[in-house]
Structure 1
């Protein structure tokens, strides 16, 4: 490989939490002779958070590889002085917030902004070649990545996902053509109320969730 040059990378997370409301509770009250039905709809509410840290991981050859931390900013995690072959620490998680109902979660990754990277390199950044997806996350037929467990407020369950991935690997074969390159990886998280939704879930041959049955997700009104 020719001499490696350093670049700067910003890997950001956009917490674009979208929701859909399904179901509700029904109550009755009367006023004189008039009877009215009062519907109180449930809601889902979530947040996307990230961690980064400095550590080393074991490699198949018996050695170790450093995983470099980034700097947390308002726009995401920023990384400087990056060279091909670097592994960057990034751990995005989705969690329920407020008085949210139980929910299923999916995320979509994209690279909206990049410089000095070709289309093939941009596409690689959001595949298993560069991202070590968690075991509970499955890439669906529609490009979304689906969490396999329901998030719940119940004390026996979890209200936060495992990390979507824990590191970003910069391919070693990226040479001088990517010197001073920059890019962003954005993460969009969707949540859908779990109650009455199980029958809409699509599954692959291994029984893993890989679609939401074409349901439309809309961002909640603020």
Structure 2
């Protein structure tokens, strides 16, 4: 098989924080002359992929079928408050012909809708809350299984991605994006449930409801796996419409692969 060029944007990293406020707020009692002031904390996160090493141009060039590319997204809490943290990953999907390890064409040689990358070594410290096809991507949204304290860092969601074993002549000179978005929501008084996983899902749903109708790149009301079928249609609509970006806390890190 000839080695053909494919361009892939491996990391487009967006940081979002939700339910975060800063500054000083006054709590007024029933008497005007009695005022208690409280300094409000801050939810702030930093997303990194320390294992990803692009070329000097910011790209990883000339990738080939079945190539494994290091990519290890993780979140550090650099704010002042405990937080639930989340990631969403968008894997590009295309109708392509693939082959197995022996070079035999799959699906009787017919082109099939295929996720072009596979996430490797998924961490058990993250829980998949939702997945849905959105446009030309399959979007996966995960929550972390523990509340993230200030200065703590999560385990990487995964360690690398593998490019699909695609028959040549289908994706040459293409650019494929794999964006990863990071989110944080203050954990105090936002999520209900008997476990952190349930609390994080509840907090996320409140976040989505709070920002209903505002455009965003990737967010959804997350259901646990056994509820997905019952709510699929409504979730798909909200996935496209229900996110909000906090521009003051946004950071974009782009790494590309060719």
Q: Which residue in 2 is equivalent to 1:102?
A: 82
Are 2:145 and 1:152 equivalent residues in the alignment? no
Pick the structure with more strand per residue.
1
> How far does the alpha carbon of each residue in 1:136-178 deviate from its partner, in whole angstroms, 9 at most, with x for none?
122113642111111113xxxx611111211010112443312
Runs of 4+, deviation exceeding 3 Å:
25-30, 129-132, 200-204, 207-213, 217-222
The 5 A counterparts of 1:171-186 are: 171-186=164-179
TM (norm. structure 1) is 0.66
In structure 2, what is the Cα distance between the partners aligned to 1:84 and 1:7? 10
Q: Which residue in 1 is equivalent to 2:207?
A: 216
In structure 2, what is the Cα distance between the partners aligned to 1:72 and 1:29? 56
Q: Which residue in 1 is equivalent to 2:33?
A: 34
Q: Which residue in 1 is equivalent to 2:46?
A: 47
Q: In structure 1, which of residues 51, 56, 71 is the aligned counterpart of residue 55 of structure 2? A: 71
Shift of 1:18: 2.0
- What secondary structure is seen at the aligned counterpart in 1 of 2:13? coil
Q: Which residue in 2 is equivalent to 1:189?
A: 182
Question: Structure 1 residues 4, 221: closer, same or farther in 2, change over 3 A?
Answer: closer
In structure 1, what is the Cα distance between the partners aligned to 2:47 and 2:141? 16
Task: Say how many residue pairs are matched.
Answer: 186
TM (norm. structure 2) is 0.58
Structure 1: unaligned runs, 5 residues or longer: 54-68
Pick the structure with more helix per residue.
2
Asked if the contact 2:91–2:116 (Cα under 8 Å) also holds between the matched residues in 1, the reply is no
Asked if the contact 1:138–1:209 (Cα under 8 Å) also holds between the matched residues in 2, the reply is no
Q: Which moved more, 1:38-47 or 1:86-95?
A: 38-47
Structure 2: unaligned runs, 5 residues or longer: 97-112, 132-139, 209-243, 249-258
